[in-house]
Structure 1
């Protein structure tokens, strides 16, 4: 289907509710390679090139996310070069543990888990002219082994991700793929870019391989409630796009909550989406 959200919409920030702010912040600084932009003891804001990408919100009493709860599968940080992925690999091998490394044909990705169980992906895109697009308009993605020995040779030993790093996509674990599709595709207006059988959808606002991933691989059955994803953000280009997005939710009876420069809305698993205007 054609996208009905503005194709200029991008992923903005991700916010995580954490028990141990200092420990989690150190992980994202020293292993992922984000820079600390500000911290007040309750919240730490991290980013790249001065642009905020991740907010960590301290909540010592937040319960550990149960195995049945929906929520975050991973936050995917998109770096602008293969050498930046190689540098991340070295930091992970030196200070943490790599949980996976994959060639997805459209991208090369490293996977790991933060100290409180939140999934993290660090990846770079291959040039779009190398992507394979199927007759139905979907983009071909696979999970193939990544040669990390060859990748490691590209390192420059940088301790931080470069300027231009963004949150490329957010991948969610949902309890119902059909309910999530109703929210993110039929209502929000994203475009399906790939289907993995009955268990996963990959969605984008334009012809990107995906800005939002949805899966039911781990049989989550309950709404999100504990530690982990607090909200994630989509940034629309102007007020007209913001008003149109809000109108689409209102037309389907989905409640939204106003905030400065945008609004918040919860999906079928109470995952909070923040839609913000870029002005």
Structure 2
């Protein structure tokens, strides 16, 4: 029987492995705009709303910084802002911080790209309304990488103070370097039940998948090369990302389905953990748990 990922599924917290917690804390607070929710010696939980973690940082002993596009795993995680004004404020803050900054108008969204001190990729973006999205003859959502209108976006921030990421900010999507993109497609679409939102394998070696008609919750690419190596155990990068499911039946049903397909799933602290074919760890939880 086929399985479809629930349309109300959302992404939750990501956990990152870093080499210097204090350096990363300064970056994520002053540059990205997150706040510390809880901190221990080697771990810090960062939040937007003061209640729920959005990013968790863990300092790894003897960490090796993994160069960009050199291994399977995280390409970037993407923080979705609730308004264009919030994106304009973020852009102004990033420019004032003088960090290396990429940008793109994807038609469905406007996006800014930065990297943390350990080369973990970060996208900060806002979506255009769904009624403005367009589709091709194959029902792929049409996306592009056009330049953003810098001046117009900065006008959104004129006369307003930046106070970090606003309430309503959430994890929008994650994007991975795949070892074998066809095995990843089979896993995420045929087993986990995501839909293909845009197939750009021929054009750019990338695939975008989602639930509920979103432009993408997960991006997959082969930009680190076919059969890209796995990062070292003490390498910086993604420890896990989180899929939030709307009901307990959804959680239990997906866990059973994964196990039936030979995926090893372990329960820890009320969440279920497994790995995809590129050894990327995912975490399944009940929404608002």
Normalising by structure 2, we get a TM-score of 0.92
Question: Is 2:214 the counterpart of 1:208?
Answer: yes
Question: Is 2:63 the counterpart of 1:62?
Answer: yes
Q: Bigger shift: 56-65 or 82-91?
A: 56-65
CA distance in structure 1 between the aligned counterparts of 2:53 and 2:125, rounded to whole angstroms: 18
Q: Bigger shift: 126-135 or 18-27?
A: 126-135
Match of 2:199 among 195, 201, 205: 195
Match of 1:75 among 74, 77, 81: 77
**How many pairs align?**
278
CA distance in structure 2 between the aligned counterparts of 1:277 and 1:102, rounded to whole angstroms: 33
User: Paired residue for 1:257?
Assistant: 266
User: Paired residue for 2:256?
Assistant: 247
User: Paired residue for 1:22?
Assistant: 22
Q: Which runs of 5+ in 1 are unaligned?
A: none
User: Paired residue for 1:107?
Assistant: 109
Deviation of residue 3 (structure 1)? 6.5
Q: Bigger shift: 220-229 or 136-145?
A: 220-229
Question: Is 2:186 the counterpart of 1:182?
Answer: yes
Question: Is 2:154 the counterpart of 1:152?
Answer: yes
- Cα deviation per residue 1:34-92 (whole Å; 9 max; x = unaligned)? 11111112111112112311000111312222553211111110001111111111111
CA distance in structure 2 between the aligned counterparts of 1:14 and 1:273, rounded to whole angstroms: 9
User: Paired residue for 1:97?
Assistant: 99
Match of 2:242 among 209, 228, 233: 233
CA contact (8 A) 1:78 1:168 kept: yes
Matches within 5 A, 1:158-177: 158-177=162-181
Deviation of residue 233 (structure 1)? 0.4
CA distance in structure 1 between the aligned counterparts of 2:188 and 2:268, rounded to whole angstroms: 20
CA contact (8 A) 1:12 1:233 kept: yes
- In the superposition, relative to structure 1, how do residues 224 and 248 fare at CA in structure 2: closer, same or farther (>3 Å)? farther
Deviation of residue 134 (structure 1)? 3.1
Q: Which runs of 5+ in 2 are unaligned?
A: none
Normalising by structure 1, we get a TM-score of 0.95
User: Paired residue for 2:11?
Assistant: 11
